[in-house]
Homo-oligomer: A and B are copies of this chain.
Amino acid sequence: MSSAIDKVSAQIDANRAGVIQRLADAVAIPSVSGDAAHRPQVIQMAQWMAKSLEGVGCENIKFKELGKQTLDGQEVSLPPVVFADYREGKADAKKTVLVYGHYDVQPALKSDGWNTEPFKLEYDEKTGRLYGRGSTDDKGPVIGWINMLEAHRQAGVELPVNLKFVFEGMEESGSVGLDELIAHEHAQGSFFKGVDACCISDNYWLGTKKPCLTHGLRGVAYFKLHISGPAADLHSGLFGGVVHEPMTDLFAIMSKLVTPQGDILIPGIKELVTPLTDEEFKRYQVMDFSVQDMEGATGSKTTIADDKEKILMARMRYPSLSLHGIEGAFSEAGTKTVIPAKIVGKFSLRLVPDMTPAKVNELVEAYINAEWKKLGSKNTLRLEAEHGGKPWLADPNHWNYEAAAKAVQKIYGVAPDYTREGGSIPVALTFAETLGKNLLLLPLGRADDGAHSTNEKIDVSNYVEGSKLLGAYLHEIAAATA
């Protein structure tokens, strides 16, 4: 097997100019899903994907249409989800890996502050960086799979697993229609049949030096706290001291949700958090990360904890509660002496196992109702639970992860970090829950790639070694005992 991986890797090195050109071709198509004017280019990118997949031997390539949407005031077609199979040899005896990625990108204008044209891939040989919109999110990783398949064919190495590709064109714009498509295909289609494990490459290393495997994501529960009293905004000269002020009530309630040290004060929340094990704690200890990295990321010395492990755990394995703002209060510059009559406080929790939006909603509602009664206000309170998403956690000892770890060791010569992310990637939860299979997040890019920012880049080494890593991973999958 090692010889097979070596051959594929050598072929990718030999193709270096070609794989960079392939990424340049993809970046040149401004497949911005959030802008109706760019919708034709998103669809052009779907066609480019289909052609590229066909070119490296994929079959059964399908455009799954999702209908129409209204965007920027016009009705436009949703870009298709591209399905494709890769099978060769004794396919029925092989494991099957489902791969998800997205071919759409965030908007980008040179005038936003880019040093180069965002939709022209620029290779800076001095730094070894490839600049361009989509270079790391998510065209680079998506094309990594294509590079890997191409190298197998050119090197005459048979791919020892079957692949099922799902490439979406609306990820940066809310993945409209994707959940329904996955549910529908799972229930009625045949595409997802026989999948043994899933892999998504659409996140980043924790730092800039060491690869990682990501096995968890926090969920979210978002709340709007409506408080209303007077029929209209009042002047504090005339009414200050006379009426119960909705703002005073809101501050009283929202100040009781979380302490300045980040402790959530809602009874029952902490009890839902799964206890820390020694095995897990060791993962934080070895991670390629420092307090200074976090200070760099926030541009400040404002971490609650002063040691690396606590900071990592705060992001990855503990819940948090943030106060986001108030709708309906005085938010401009200046010094208006208004008593706002009707306001909406916004806050959200990040959820970890075994919290769920449903459980959290119940606890938040009970607590806020109890605290509200204590206030003795004549105003009116209404709590609205907005969008929620469950946390996701995979078993990092599953053969899917073991295969990826061996591949990292093979390509990079190090054991990967096992990270969890603080935010959500809803599609990961959808695949894991719908298919009931182990899912791996296998990032190619680095923490400083600047996805969604100006001057987005992927290091050429991450792109090239990443393409090799995807191949090595699949060979290790084949060798693993399921």
Residues on A lying within 8 angstroms of B by beta carbon are 218, 220, 222, 224, 229-232, 234-245, 247-249, 251-252, 254-256, 258-262, 294, 297-305, 311, 314-315, 318-327, 329-333, 335-340, 346, 348, 350, 375-379, 386-387, 421-424
Contacts and interface: CB of A to CB of B under 8 A. Distances in A.
A246 to B, nearest CB: 9
Given A324-B336, A378-B301, A378-B303, A248 B259 contact: yes
A298 B228 CA distance: 12
8 contacts: A220-B337, A230-B298, A231-B300, A242-B422, A244-B304, A247-B323, A324-B337, A327-B331
A424 B237 CA distance: 7
A58 to B, nearest CB: 34
Contacts of A249: 260
Contacts of A335: 222, 224, 346, 348, 386-387
A174 to B, nearest CB: 12
Contacts of A321: 240
B304 A243 contact: yes
Given A251-B251, A251-B323, A298-B231, A242 B304 contact: yes
Contact of A238 (B239, B303, B315, B339): B315
A292 to B, nearest CB: 14
Nearest to A374: B260
Contacts of A327: 331-333
- Report, nearest first, the 8 A-B pairs whose CB atoms are least far apart: A237-B423, A231-B299, A241-B320, A325-B330, A240-B320, A325-B329, A255-B255, A331-B331
A171 to B, nearest CB: 16
